Chain A
Amino acid sequence: SQELEQSPQSLIVQEGKNLTINCTSSKTLYGLYWYKQKYGEGLIFLMMLQKGGEEKSHEKITAKLDEKKQQSSLHITASQPSHAGIYLCGADRGAGSYQLTFGKGTKLSVIP
C-alpha cells in the first residue's frame, strides 16, 4: 500500500518567516492533494497537483510536485498566525481508485 511521510512532524516559526513542508511517497504519485486542518474542524482544500513538475500557488502558499512524482513540497512565504494548523498531504492511488491515502500531518505554529 502507498505510504506518505510528511516532514517535519511539527514546526514553530516566527511570523514573517518562510517555511517548507515535505511529503514523500513510497510509490508514484498520480494526484497529490494538500489540505489544512484546524483543531476540531474538517479539512480545507488547498491545492491539487497531478503532473510531474507542476507548481501551483494560492496567496502565499506554493505547492510543487517533483519531476519523478514521488515528492511534493508546500512552501509558505511570510507566514502569518492565520497559517497555523495541521497540513496534510493526500495521494490517490491511480488506476481508477477514488480513495486518498493521507500522511500524518505537519503541525505548524506561527508565533506573532
Chain B
Amino acid sequence: GAGVSQTPSNKVTEKGKYVELRCDPISGHTALYWYRQSLGQGPEFLIYFQGTGAADDSGLPNDRFFAVRPEGSVSTLKIQRTERGDSAVYLCASSSIPNTEAFFGQGTRLTVV
C-alpha cells in the first residue's frame, strides 16, 4: 500500500479481555516498530522487528504484551488480560533501513473500560 496501515483505528474492550492490533507496513520495508502514546506524551518505544525477528523488545512493559511478524510483513501486537492503564494510541512505523526516516501509521486508539 501507499502508507502504513493500522487496524482497527479504534478499539474499545473490557478489562481482562484479549486484543490484537494489526500493522501493515509499507511494502518492502524490513524494519517495523511499535510505539505507544499516552495523552500529552510522546510515543514510547515497545518493540522493533528486522524482518521476521524481534531485534529489540526491551520496551514491552510486561509479559501481557507480545508481538509477531511471521512473514516479515504484517505485524500483530497482542495484549492479554487488558488493564485500564493499557489505554493509549498504539502506533506502528516502518522504514526501509533502520535508523532512517520511519513512516508512521495513523495509530489504533485502544480504550479499556
Q: Nearest chain B CB to A22's CB is how many angstroms away?
A: 15
Is there an interface contact between B45 and A42, defined as CB atoms closer than 8 Å? Answer: no
Is there an interface contact between A43 and B91, defined as CB atoms closer than 8 Å? Answer: yes
B-contact 0/1 string along A14-55, CB 8 Å cutoff: 000000000000000001010100001111110010000000
Q: Which of B38-60 contact A (CB under 8 A)?
A: 40-45, 48, 50, 55-56, 58-59
Q: Which residues of B come within 8 Å of A, CB atoms? A: 4, 31, 33, 35, 40-45, 48, 50, 55-56, 58-59, 91, 93, 98-107, 109
CA distance A41 to B91 in the complex (A): 10
Q: Which residues of A come within 8 Å of B, CB atoms? A: 4, 31, 33, 35, 40-45, 48, 88, 90, 92, 97-105
Which chain A residues border B35 with CB–CB below 8 Å?
100
